[in-house]
Structure 1
Amino acid sequence: MSGSQDAAYVEFVDQSRSTLLGYAWLLTADPYAAEDLLQETYVRVYVRWRKVASGHPVAYARKVMSNLHTDRWRSRRREVFTDQAGEAAYTQDPMTVDLVRALQKLSPRERECVVLRHYLDLSEKDTAETLGISLGSVKRYTSDALAALRPLLSEEEARHV
Structure 2
Amino acid sequence: MLLTGDEEEARDMVQDALTATFGRLRNGFEVEQAEAYVRRAIANRFLDRARRGQRWRRIAPLVVDRERVDSGSTLTGERLDMAHRLQRLTPRERACVVLRYDEDRTVEQVAAELGISAGAVKRYLSDALGKLRGMLEREQERGQRDERGRP
Which amino acid in the other structure matches residue 53 of structure 2?
Answer: R
Residues in 2 aligned to 1:103 and 1:75: alpha-carbon distance in whole angstroms: 19
Say whether 1:40 aligns with 2:16.
yes
Q: How many residues align?
A: 130
TM value normalised by structure 1:
0.70
After superposition, where does 1:137-152 map in structure 2 within 5 Å? 137-152=120-135
2:89 is matched with 106
Residues in 2 aligned to 1:83 and 1:66: alpha-carbon distance in whole angstroms: 25
Which amino acid in the other structure matches residue 123 of structure 1?
Answer: T
After superposition, where does 1:72-83 map in structure 2 within 5 Å? 72-77=49-54, 78=57
Contact 1:83 1:101 in 2 (8 A): no
Percent sequence identity is 37
- The Cα RMSD (Å) is 2.5
Residues in 2 aligned to 1:38 and 1:110: alpha-carbon distance in whole angstroms: 20
Higher helix content, 1 or 2 = 1
Residues in 1 aligned to 2:93 and 2:102: alpha-carbon distance in whole angstroms: 13
1:19 is matched with none
Residues in 2 aligned to 1:52 and 1:62: alpha-carbon distance in whole angstroms: 15
2:146 is matched with none
1:50 is matched with 27
Which amino acid in the other structure matches residue 98 of structure 1?
Answer: D
Which amino acid in the other structure matches residue 115 of structure 2?
Answer: G
TM value normalised by structure 2:
0.75
Task: Compare CA radii of gyration and give the structure with the larger one.
Answer: 2
Considering Cα pairs closer than 8 Å and 6+ residues apart, tell me whether 1 or 2 has the greater RCO.
Answer: 2
Shift of 1:55: 4.3
Shift of 1:85: 8.6
2:115 is matched with 132
1:27 is matched with 3
Residues in 2 aligned to 1:126 and 1:86: alpha-carbon distance in whole angstroms: 34
